[in-house]
Amino acid sequence: MTTIIETKDLVKNYGTKSVLQSINLSVQAGEVVALLGPSGSGKSTLLRCLNGLESTTSGTILFNGQLVKQTEKSWQQLRPKIGMVFQSYDLFPNQTVLENVTIGPVKVQKRAKKEVQLQAIEWLTRVGLKEQIDSYPRELSGGQKQRVAIVRSLCMNPELMLFDEVTASLDPENVREVLEVILELAKTDKTLLIVTHEMEFARLVSDRIIFMADGQIVEEGATKQFFEAPETERAYQFLRSLDFANL
């Protein structure tokens, strides 16, 4: 199996504060990995390092086996291959849904507009937004905006997709529709790395769990094993604090 992304002894400091400590992880092609842990454990910072949005202090990142140079030019070339969906949607308010999701492939990847539009319409239809193609962001619910943000990333044809707490800013009634889209993606051959506090969702969607605390990977393994019989006391206490599973 091909390793899409890998880190070796990755460290991230903010001044004297250590946020990530010697992170070693790998994600295989077609794998769905959930990144779990308490708030402040470094999960979101790790995702941002994997997309070049945060510089690393030391250590290495490899993408498809190739060392990623920590320069803006290198990340600009690589970033289209690593899609990222954030808590905030960051849609252009003066552009329609279709325009929002096609501008990146057309402007950045220099792809034919018609080809991109056909792909965008196909994805928007699949996530239940066919009727909103000509709508503007102000006319959409939070859940609809987040689905547009997911399609925007998909239309770049990334090899890896990163999801950073994509339901955190949504009303409860909008959470399910977004999670269902990611569940459907997980059934395809997409490679996904997902930060979430939705434990039941993580159990359903992922092949493997990486559990972080205090800037370190404390435990990782198969999803079933993690939720039914965590190996570390820290993971056990985390799940117990959420009243999740009969621990």
Query: Which ranges of 68-218 would DSSP assign to H, the alpha helix?
Result: 72-78, 97-107, 113-126, 142-154, 172-186, 199-205
Round to whole Å and give the CA distance between 159 and 203: 23
In a domain, 143, yes or no: no
In a domain, 209, yes or no: yes
Number of domains forming the structure of the chain: 1
For residue 140, pLDDT over 90 is answered with yes
For the segment 155-181, the average pLDDT, to the nearest whole number, is: 90
Measured on CA atoms in the order 227, 232, 236, 241, is the torsion positive or negative? negative
pLDDT tens column, 16-75: 999 999 999 999 999 999 999 999 999 999 999 999 999 999 999 999 999 999 999 999
Using DSSP's 3-state secondary structure scheme, residue 219 falls into strand
Q: What does DSSP assign to residue 38?
A: -
pTM of the model: 0.93
CATH code of the domain in which 186 resides: 3.40.50.300
Using DSSP's 3-state secondary structure scheme, residue 24 falls into strand
What's the whole-number average pLDDT of the chain?
A: 93
Q: Which residue has the higher pLDDT, 43 or 241?
A: 43
In a domain, 130, yes or no: no
In a domain, 132, yes or no: no
pLDDT tens column, 169-227: 888 888 888 999 999 999 888 999 999 999 999 999 999 999 999 999 999 999 999 99
CB atoms within 10 A of CB 143: 21
In a domain, 127, yes or no: no
Q: Which structural domain, as residue segments, surrounds residue 25?
A: 3-91+159-241
In a domain, 205, yes or no: yes
In a domain, 201, yes or no: yes
For residue 246, pLDDT over 60 is answered with no
Residues in CB range of 242: below 8 A, 6 or more apart: 199
For residue 244, pLDDT over 80 is answered with no
Considering just the CA atoms, what is the radius of gyration of the chain in Å? 18
In a domain, 104, yes or no: no
